[in-house]
A and B are shown apart, each in its own frame.
Chain A
Amino acid sequence: MKRLVQGNEAIFLGALKAGASFFAGYPISPSSEILILAAQHAARDPGFKFIQSEDELAAANAIIGASLAGAKSFTATSGPGFTLMQEAIGYAHEVEVPTVFVDLQRVGPATGMPTMPAQQDIVQTNYGSSGDYYPLAFYPNSVEECYRYAVAAFDAAEESLSPVILLGDAFVGHLNEVVDLDAIEVEVVPRSRPPLGTGKRFFTGLAHDEQGNPSTADAVVYKDWLAKVKARHEKVAARYSDFEFKGNTSSDTLLISCGIVSRVIAPLASQFAMFRPIRIFPMLGDELREHAAGYQRIVVIEANDGQYACLVERQLKREVIRVPLLGGRINLDLAKKGLSEKLGSEVA
């Protein structure tokens, strides 16, 4: 049935569709709707478990415990809470725990501008925890995609045995659009690992050998483990190389944007070519290079001071033009103004 659905609700319903049965979270704007929906759902369905945690550290670790115990689990947070969760994200990578972290970005650092949208957790998503790890992350830009990629996040988590990040922003989370969620066909991947209470395994945040026994001073064991995990993540990532590209033969300029910014600047497609990454991490490489090849100027327009632009530069090995939209002001006029200044010609 077609109806008006909010982005946050679509994320929650996507999680349910994927088979999630556990949510732990700590209230924080602009993600609190997801926590409230989870609480309401738990009150109706005794099979769905809910904890309102004492802080984000507890929430992040609770979803890890729930996953080990056999539930598909998730949490939802925003910038400062996501920072507190980074420790647990690193742990989940070390222990190879499938779970999902939803992060709806707001203006930071710190408490920043709690209700204003941003894209300032891009780097944090990829590099926020200690050590080397290879996170998978999706960044939808519509209510329908919130649903679709919530399911994909749970699927990819099970396939990669790792925590997957579903990025959004205050605008995408609070976007209301008419969609028919029942008509969206998705694939659901079953649980990948037997739950606690079925074996004699040891799940440890220490470096460990194949049996799970701690191995804290053997470089060979560590490198073998890292190579195995990296290969698995690359393989899973290849299955989700999702992006949107609209070429423009009359333009020499490619605009790269994601999330809410891509929606806001959509009217500029008549003047520029457009590229939008959806699987935001691991970075799209060949896809970016192939579609950027025909364009003289590459512009990354984003609601931060060049976080994604830096990563695009590294992939393309050429300079990109940065158009930052800062302070939670994301609109077409500001985007045109920024583009006009950086491109040296009026963008109408």
Chain B
Amino acid sequence: MFKDLLKLELFPTTWCPGCGIGQIMIQLAMVMDELGLDHTNSTVISGVGCTGRLAGYFNVDGVYTLHGRTLPVAEAVKLVNPGLKVIVASGDGDLASIGGNHLLHAARRNPDLTVLCNENQVYALTGGQAGPTTPRDTSTTSTPAGAPYDPVNLQNVMKSGAKYFYARTTVYHQVHLRKCIKEAIAWPGFAFVDIVCHCIENNGRRLGFNSAYEMLQHFRKTYKRAPDDAETLEPLEIGIVRKG
């Protein structure tokens, strides 16, 4: 049972009601259960921020690293113990901003890591400031007149390498999310899953959404499946691009 992989005794989780991270956690647990991953053969490593708490809910050895430093820790763990399945779960601020240099170079070195990026497009835990993935013109607590810059293009960052695995999905598309996680874990190299996720409390309400449900419906309406043979995902497409 996937529930055996979770520390249910610590529930309810620290996350706000309506938060999407729980979906990432549940889908990861389901995939791990399906693949026979447990405390003897896997570890979950997360960074700082809301998503940083994810590792602590798994019934495996987990590490909550410093802010932005998941990848150096994970890469070293994998190098020392190649038999261990190393799964990194962290936020977009952690992976793409404060940890951006590590993302660039870990991807280049291409260690066998699975990276799940909660792309909620905001610094949620610190109160809704703009992050590296915040769309241009979005109002946040640190960009009251709208975000002045375009967001980082994570797909292009990943595709700058000779080998890459980049998946984009959302927490609404749960079957697709699970498929992406599963394929990322099976990928023999650096696999990055960009999971568009809602944050109702520190982002959504400011954007005019009344509930997490409304945000999920927004994902349903705006994100479309990319063709299976797509070499590049268009901005509002979900799918997987890879080169081994």
Chain A residues proximal to chain B, CB less than 8 Å: 21-22, 24, 49, 51, 53-55, 57-59, 61-66, 68-71, 73, 87-88, 91, 195-206, 213-214
Contacts and interface: CB of A to CB of B under 8 A. Distances in A.
Contact of B61 (A58, A59, A203): A203
A51 B69 contact: no
Contacts of B83: 197
Given A201-B62, A203-B62, A205-B64, A196 B77 contact: yes
A206 B53 CA distance: 10
B75 A65 contact: yes
Contacts of B66: 61, 87-88, 91, 205
A61 B64 CA distance: 12
Interface residues of B, number: 39
Contact of B40 (A58, A198, A206): A198
B39 interface: yes
Contacts of B65: 61, 64-65, 91, 205
Contacts of A58: 69, 71-72, 101-102, 105
Contacts of A204: 56, 63-64
A59 B65 CA distance: 14
Contact of B77 (A21, A59, A66, A91): A66
B9 to A, nearest CB: 9
A54 B102 contact: yes
Contact of A62 (B43, B68, B75, B104): B75
B130 interface: no
B80 interface: yes
A61 B98 CA distance: 14
Contacts of B145: none
Given A57-B72, A62-B73, A213-B56, A197 B79 contact: no
Contacts of B43: 196-197
B77 A65 contact: yes
Interface in B144-202: none
B81 A69 contact: yes
Contacts of B40: 197-198
A22 B105 contact: no
Most chain B CB atoms below 10 A, which of A51, A59, A62, A197:
A197
B59 interface: yes
Contacts of A61: 65-66, 69, 72-73, 76
B42 interface: yes
Contacts of B55: 202
A319 to B, nearest CB: 40
A203 B43 CA distance: 11
Given A57-B102, A58-B102, A65-B75, 5 more contacts: A24-B76, A61-B76, A69-B84, A197-B83, A214-B14
A213 B10 contact: yes
A53 B48 CA distance: 21
8 nearest CB pairs, A to B: A65-B76, A65-B73, A69-B80, A204-B64, A54-B105, A58-B72, A62-B76, A61-B72
B79 A49 contact: yes
Nearest to A203: B63
B25 interface: no
Nearest to A57: B69
A205 B73 CA distance: 13
Nearest to A63: B76
Contacts of A205: 48, 64-66
Nearest to B98: A57
B242 to A, nearest CB: 24
Contact of B64 (A62, A88, A206): A206
B162 to A, nearest CB: 17
11 contacts: A57-B68, A59-B72, A61-B73, A66-B79, A68-B61, A68-B73, A68-B77, A196-B43, A196-B81, A203-B62, A213-B10
Contacts of A54: 101-102, 104-105
Nearest to B56: A202
Contact of B74 (A65, A91, A199): A65
Contact of B72 (A62, A197, A200, A214): A62
A69 B69 contact: no
B61 A70 contact: no
A22 B80 CA distance: 8
B39 A69 contact: no
B215 to A, nearest CB: 27
A31 B33 CA distance: 46
A87 B76 CA distance: 18
B205 to A, nearest CB: 25
Contact of A69 (B56, B60, B76): B76
Nearest to B47: A205
A51 B76 CA distance: 8
Given A53-B72, A55-B101, A61-B73, A197 B84 contact: yes
Contacts of A55: 101
A201 B63 CA distance: 8
B41 interface: yes
Nearest to A64: B73
Interface string B75-114: 1110111011000000000000000011011000000000
A260 to B, nearest CB: 32
Nearest to A212: B56
A203 B55 CA distance: 9
Contacts of A57: 68-69, 72, 101-102
Given A54-B101, A62-B73, A65-B72, A214 B53 contact: yes
